[in-house]
């Protein structure tokens, strides 16, 4: 394994990371777009500062675009592969706790996923999106500590009764990256404890 420090919002960084991967391993088979941010200042669109909107979009959506822009040619050089994009359950429902920049950015990830699936499926590249529910990560935990009502609302709507763990998403990502999912393309897969179907 190698580590390439990368700001996914900067094209030069992303291009360098792709080159480093190809040079180290001779090929790239999978793109996994997991970089994402959620800012505590994110909220209702009428109160949302433009700088917050731009920052969230630059990482969550632009970052996915840049990794795909530079990574897809690497996949094509080896005859295909798999792209796994991380979206969010909030892109599939209307949220009572608004986080409009984050929601819009993840909706964009789903739309981009579908477009890439159609464009590059014939060339051997499968593109799919995972929509996680609330996952116990430092990003979510820090937000919920300052928003106890949001925590109560989210947890009450998860039929399985708990927030997700990172490995819950990893298992789905590994499936989508593997040859076991060779006929899965353009899918949006919810891994969310049932929160999407229970959101009202």
Q: Which residues are catalytic?
A: 102
Q: DSSP label at 4?
A: -
Question: Dihedral (C-alpha) 59, 63, 64, 70: value to the nearest 10 degrees?
Answer: -170
Q: Quick one: CA dihedral 38, 7, 137, 126, positive or negative?
A: positive
Q: What is the CA radius of gyration of the chain?
A: 17
Those residues whose C-beta lies under 8 Å from the C-beta of residue 1, and which sit 6 or more positions away, are none
Query: How far is it, in rounded angstroms, from Cα 170 to Cα 172?
Result: 5
The token pair that represents 198 in the structure block: 């229970």
Among 59, 55, 134, which Cα is nearest to 90's?
A: 134
> Residue 190, Cβ neighbours under 10 Å: how many?
19
Q: DSSP label at 130?
A: E
Q: For the chain, what's the residue count? A: 200
């Amino acid at each position: 394994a190698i580590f390439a420090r990368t700001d996914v919002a900067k094209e030069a960084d992303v291009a360098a990371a792709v080159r480093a991967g190809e040079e180290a391993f001779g090929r790239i088979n999978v793109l996994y777009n997991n970089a994402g941010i959620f800012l505590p200042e994110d909220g209702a669109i009428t109160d949302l500062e433009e700088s917050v909107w731009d920052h969230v979009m630059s990482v969550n959506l632009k970052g996915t675009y840049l990794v795909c822009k530079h990574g897809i040619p690497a996949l094509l050089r080896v005859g295909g592969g798999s792209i796994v994009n991380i979206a969010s359950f909030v892109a599939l429902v209307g949220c009572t706790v608004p986080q409009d920049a984050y929601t819009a950015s993840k909706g964009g990830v789903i739309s981009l996923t579908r477009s890439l699936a159609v464009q590059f499926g014939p060339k051997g590249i499968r593109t799919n999106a995972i929509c996680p529910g609330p996952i116990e990560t430092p990003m979510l935990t820090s937000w919920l500590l300052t928003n106890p009502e949001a925590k109560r609302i989210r947890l009450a709507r998860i039929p399985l009764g708990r927030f997700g763990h990172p490995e819950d998403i990893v298992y789905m990502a590994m499936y989508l990256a593997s040859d076991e999912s060779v006929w899965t393309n353009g899918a949006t897969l919810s891994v969310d404890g049932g929160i999407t179907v229970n959101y009202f």
